[in-house]
């Protein structure tokens, strides 16, 4: 199924496909920047809440805690990456606030 995106450029006429792509790319980059802005504080709050509520027994031990926005952003940028054990290990190394001890 195809999707047609029609954007009016203004009184001069239609926007080219390249201009539409540039606008969409800038919007996506701005959204990623906004999502990343409060990431560390948000991750620390989520981890603290998880530490207070998740009690792992000997058969259940949570390894990492991160929010859905972070998970989805990584999956959108690199589809299938969160299923890759090496990528997750690298992610937790770069983002220690997500890792549970």
Q: Tokens for 99?
A: 């890792």
More confident residue, 21 or 54: 21
pTM: predicted TM-score of the whole model, two decimal places: 0.52
CA gap 15, 59 in Å, rounded: 58
The confidence score (pLDDT) of residue 35 equals 73
d(CA 71, CA 50): 16
Q: What is the CA 66 to chain-centroid distance, rounded? A: 10
Structure tokens at 48: 């603290």
Please tell me the predicted confidence (pLDDT) of residue 84: 93
Residue linked to tokens 């969160």: 82
Q: If you average pLDDT over residues 7-15, what whole number do you get?
A: 60
In 10 A of CB 66, how many CB atoms? 21
Taking 70 as the threshold, does the pLDDT of residue 1 lie above it? no
pLDDT (tens digit, 9 = 90+) per residue, 43-74? Answer: 777 777 776 666 666 666 677 887 787 888 88
Q: Where are the domains of the chain?
A: 16-94
């Amino acid at each position: 199924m195809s999707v047609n995106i029609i954007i009016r450029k203004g009184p001069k006429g239609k926007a080219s496909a390249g201009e539409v792509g540039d606008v969409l790319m800038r919007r996506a980059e701005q959204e990623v920047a906004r999502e990343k802005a409060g990431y560390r504080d948000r991750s620390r709050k989520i981890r603290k809440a998880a530490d207070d509520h998740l009690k792992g027994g000997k058969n259940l031990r949570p390894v990492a805690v991160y929010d859905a926005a972070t998970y989805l952003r990584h999956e959108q940028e690199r589809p299938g990456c969160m299923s890759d054990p090496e990528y997750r290990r690298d992610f937790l190394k770069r983002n220690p606030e997500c890792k549970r001890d």
